Amino acid sequence: MDFESYSDIAPLTGEAALKGVQLLKDNPNYIQQLFGILLDNKSEDFKLQIYNKTKEILVALEKVKNYDDFQKYITSGYFIPQILERSVSELTFSGMENLNDNDAYLFFSNHRDIVLDCAFLDYVLLGNNKQLCEMAFGDNLMTSKAVETLFRLNGGIVVKRTLPMRDKYKESIRLSKYFCETILKRDKSIWVAQKSGRAKDGIDETSAAIIKMLYLSMRKSNISFGELINKCRITPVAVSYEYDPCDINKSREEVNKLINDGLYNKKKHEDLISLVKGLRQYKGRVHIHIGKPLTDKIYEDHEEVAREIDRQIHLNYKLWPTNLFAYDYLEKTSRFKDEYKDFDTDKFLSRYSHLNEEIKKYALNAYANPVRSYLKEL
């Protein structure tokens, strides 16, 4: 694999990783800004907390030589526990038995949170002595050199979205080739969302075009479609949040699109605001299910692959009381009432009491739709 040809999008490795670590050491204000996002800035000792935690990170950075080190000592070793302590009541997982310790996988995941979906996956992989995965992120998040360094030190792969249409297609082919070569030649796992952007309506459906692009990127290799899918070990991942901190923001955006014929102009730093909200605010319980790799048969085409990814995600999505109640409330049924008998439904509905009916309904449907998807698979 000619890794140098991907140097503008690949995670930082070797000398580039060491330079990235040095950049963070030389600029502790970058780390302070990150803690400013995670910590409650209303506390009296806010500045002291940031100062002490930044010192701890600078000490931990002395151990970092590569991405796995960064994940072990910084992201999973430090930042994810901070997030879990502050905004997650419980993180659980299932399906780890579907993975072999030394194999590389192409994880196709549903997408709810900008950074935490893949960060939580890596956290549970590390805790179970499984191989970590590189992660695909849009360049719209790379708001500064410091942010890009943090993402790429953390195994981030840059997805270039702000390109003309023709260039975007060529870049998609190159990105897909990077995915395939990384798994087939470097034996390194990758996380990718099942479609572009977060599923703001709660409907998790895989874009078959992503699967098709994988094969188009490798068609000169004389490998069949079915063989490529098997060798990439495509593995569905279902990430389920009890509460979505950005549910109202997402609903406002989508309702505005409906009103304006699909048009929505994001405000400056809107993605960053969503990122901060997702990291900081309450998520309740979170569950990650790792599905079975698509190596059980020879798949004929990209539609069939996408359908199997969807099937596994829909059946293995953890349905919380928020999902089941929202379904019953909107469908005017009591089908799942025993599943949420101890759930404070009035408190949940009060979360949306200040919204107009259209936005409220959209938000509740985003919780109900995973139930609908599950029921369709039965």
Residues 275 and 325 in one domain: no
In sequence order, which ranges of the chain are alpha helices (DSSP H)? 14-26, 28-38, 46-61, 67-70, 80-87, 116-127, 145-153, 165-184, 208-218, 225-232, 247-259, 270-280, 302-316, 321-331, 345-350, 357-377
Query: Does any domain span residue 310?
Result: yes
Q: Which of 270, 294, 318 is the last residue of a domain?
A: 318
How many structural domains compose the chain? 2
Are the beta carbons of 278 and 117 closer than 8 angstroms? Answer: no
Question: Which residues of the chain register pLDDT less than 50?
Answer: none
Q: 293 with 340, same domain?
A: no
39 falls within a domain: no
Which of 269, 285, 318 is the last residue in one of the domains? Answer: 318
pLDDT on residue 107: 98
Contacts of residue 330, Cβ cutoff 8 Å, sequence gap at least 6: 361, 364, 365, 368
Quote the domain boundaries for residue 324.
Answer: 319-378
- 24: in domain: no
Residue 155, domain CATH: 3.40.1130
Indicate if 297 and 161 belong to the same structural domain.
Answer: yes
Determine the pLDDT at residue 173: 95
Same domain, yes or no: 232 and 357: no
Does residue 256 sit in the same domain as residue 361? no
- pLDDT of 96-112, one tens digit each? 999 999 899 999 999 99
Whether residue 45 is contained in a domain is answered as no
Residue in the structure block whose two tokens are 């990105």: 175
- If asked whether residues 310 and 339 sit together in one domain, one would say no
Q: Could you give phi then psi for residue 92, rounded to 5 degrees?
A: -125, 165
Does residue 287 contact residue 96 with C-beta atoms inside 8 Å? Answer: no
pLDDT for position 62:
94
For 267-293, the pLDDT digits (tens) are: 666 777 788 889 989 999 999 999 999
Q: For position 258, what pLDDT does the model report? A: 85
Q: Does residue 30 lie in a domain region?
A: no
**Domain annotation covers residue 298:** yes
Q: Give yes or no: residues 326 and 302 share one domain.
A: no
Residues 285 and 362 in one domain: no
In a domain, 307, yes or no: yes
Residue 68 forms part of a structural domain: no
- Same domain flag for 190 and 278: yes
pLDDT of res. 146: 82
Residues 312, 324: one domain?
A: no
Query: Looking at 318, 333, 360, which one is the last position of a domain?
Result: 318
Are 94 and 190 within one domain? yes
214 and 264 within one domain: yes
CA distances from 294 to 106, 232, 259 (A): 10, 9, 40
* Structure-token match 């790429």, residue found: 152
The identity of residue 66, as a single letter, is N
- Residue 355: C-alpha distances to residues 95, 206, 222 (Å): 38, 30, 55
CB 61, CB 26: distance < 8 Å: no
**Number of residues that make up the chain:** 378
